[in-house]
Structure 1
Amino acid sequence: MKKLFIHHALFRLLSPLFSGTLVYLLILLINNNIGQVQESFLGQELYVCIGLAYVIQEYARLSLLVFERIGGSISFLAHLLLQIITSIGVCVLLVSLSMYLYFNYVLGYTPNARELLIFNSLFALITLIYVLLYKSHQFLYMVNTERINREVEAKKGIEADFAHFKKGINPRLLFESLEAILVIMKTEPEEAESLSDHFSAVYRYLLSKRVNELVPVSEEVEILKDHIKLFNHLPYRKVELRLADLKDSWTVPGSFLMLTEKIIRSTIPSESKRLKLNIDDKEDRIEFHYETEEVLNGGLDSSGLKDINRSYSFYSDRDIQLSEGVSYKTIKLPKLQLHESSHP
Structure 2
Amino acid sequence: MKKNLLNQPLFRLLVPSVYGIMMYFLILLINNSLGQLSETVLTNELLLCIVLAYMVAESVRLLIVIFERRVQENLRKTVNIIYLFVGSLVIGSVVTYLIVYGYYREIEEAEYFSTFSSILYKITTIYGINAMFYTLFFLSIHLLSIKNESELKKEDLKRQNLEHQLEIFNNEINPDLLFQSLETLISLVHHNLNSAEDFVDRLALVYRYILDNRKKEVVALEDELRAAKNLVYLFKEKFPDQVTLTIKNEVQTSSKYLVPNTIPMVLDCMINGSIISPWQPMNIIIDCAGEDDYVVVQHKGNDKLSNNKYIKNRFQNLHETFAFFTDKPVIQIKAYGDVFIKMPILEINDNL
In the alignment, is the contact (CA less than 8 A) between 2:243 and 2:282 conserved in 1? yes
In the alignment, is the contact (CA less than 8 A) between 1:320 and 1:334 conserved in 2? yes
Residue in structure 2 matched with residue 177 of structure 1 by the alignment: 181
Task: Write out per-residue CA displacement over residues 164-203 of structure 1, whole angstroms, 9 at most, x where no aligned residue.
Answer: 4751x22221122122212211221111111101100101
In the alignment, is the contact (CA less than 8 A) between 1:206 and 1:254 conserved in 2? yes
Q: 3-state DSSP class of the match of 1:185?
A: helix
Task: Write out per-residue CA displacement over residues 22-70 of structure 1, whole angstroms, 9 at most, x where no aligned residue.
Answer: xxxxxxxxxxxxxxxxxxxxxxxxxxxxxxxxxxxxxxxxxxxxxxxxx
Higher mean displacement: 205-214 or 233-242: 233-242
Q: 3-state DSSP class of the match of 1:277?
A: strand
In the alignment, is the contact (CA less than 8 A) between 1:231 and 1:238 conserved in 2? no
Task: Write out per-residue CA displacement over residues 252-288 of structure 1, whole angstroms, 9 at most, x where no aligned residue.
Answer: 1100001111111111031444211111122411111
Q: Distance in 2 between matches of 1:292 and 1:196?
A: 30
Residue in structure 1 matched with residue 349 of structure 2 by the alignment: 339
In the alignment, is the contact (CA less than 8 A) between 2:202 and 2:231 conserved in 1? yes
In the alignment, is the contact (CA less than 8 A) between 1:177 and 1:230 conserved in 2? yes
Residue in structure 2 matched with residue 77 of structure 1 by the alignment: 70
In the alignment, is the contact (CA less than 8 A) between 1:267 and 1:293 conserved in 2? yes
Q: Distance in 2 between matches of 1:334 and 1:227?
A: 22
Q: 3-state DSSP class of the match of 1:222?
A: helix
Aligned partner of 2:215: which letter?
A: V
2:290 to 278, 282, 303: 282
Residue in structure 2 matched with residue 52 of structure 1 by the alignment: none
Residue in structure 2 matched with residue 187 of structure 1 by the alignment: 191
Please provide the CA RMSD for this pair: 3.8
Matched, 1:163 2:185: no
Q: Distance in 1 between matches of 2:241 and 2:168?
A: 27
Residue in structure 2 matched with residue 15 of structure 1 by the alignment: none
Residue in structure 2 matched with residue 268 of structure 1 by the alignment: 275
Matched, 1:320 2:330: yes
Residue in structure 2 matched with residue 116 of structure 1 by the alignment: none
In the alignment, is the contact (CA less than 8 A) between 1:252 and 1:312 conserved in 2? yes
Aligned partner of 2:343: which letter?
A: L
Q: 1:218: how far off?
A: 0.8
Closer, same or farther: CA 170–219 of 1 in aligned 2, 3 Å: same
Structure 1: which 5+ residue stretches go unaligned? Answer: 1-73, 87-148
Residue in structure 1 matched with residue 225 of structure 2 by the alignment: 221
Aligned partner of 1:211: which letter?
A: K
Structure 2: which 5+ residue stretches go unaligned? Answer: 1-66, 84-153
Residue in structure 1 matched with residue 261 of structure 2 by the alignment: 254
Q: Distance in 1 between matches of 2:308 and 2:181?
A: 23
* Residues 1-344 of structure 1 mapped to structure 2, 5 A cutoff: 75=68, 77-79=70-72, 160=165, 163-164=168-169, 167=172, 169-234=173-238, 238-246=242-250, 247=252, 248=254, 249-280=256-287, 281-283=289-291, 284-298=293-307, 305-339=315-349
Q: 1:160: how far off?
A: 4.6
Task: Write out per-residue CA displacement over residues 114-168 of structure 1, whole angstroms, 9 at most, x where no aligned residue.
Answer: xxxxxxxxxxxxxxxxxxxxxxxxxxxxxxxxxxx9xx99x9799758834751x
Higher mean displacement: 251-260 or 155-164: 155-164
Task: Write out per-residue CA displacement over residues 188-221 of structure 1, whole angstroms, 9 at most, x where no aligned residue.
Answer: 1111111101100101111001111111101110
Aligned partner of 1:317: which letter?
A: D
In the alignment, is the contact (CA less than 8 A) between 1:213 and 1:341 conserved in 2? no
Q: Distance in 2 between matches of 1:308 and 1:187?
A: 39
In the alignment, is the contact (CA less than 8 A) between 2:282 and 2:299 conserved in 1? yes
Q: Distance in 1 between matches of 2:315 and 2:244?
A: 22
In the alignment, is the contact (CA less than 8 A) between 1:315 and 1:341 conserved in 2? no
Residue in structure 2 matched with residue 93 of structure 1 by the alignment: none
Closer, same or farther: CA 186–303 of 1 in aligned 2, 3 Å: closer
Closer, same or farther: CA 183–76 of 1 in aligned 2, 3 Å: farther
Q: Distance in 1 between matches of 2:321 and 2:184?
A: 31
Closer, same or farther: CA 306–340 of 1 in aligned 2, 3 Å: farther
Closer, same or farther: CA 166–182 of 1 in aligned 2, 3 Å: farther
Q: Distance in 2 between matches of 1:161 and 1:320?
A: 15
Q: Distance in 2 between matches of 1:341 and 1:282?
A: 26
Aligned partner of 2:190: which letter?
A: K
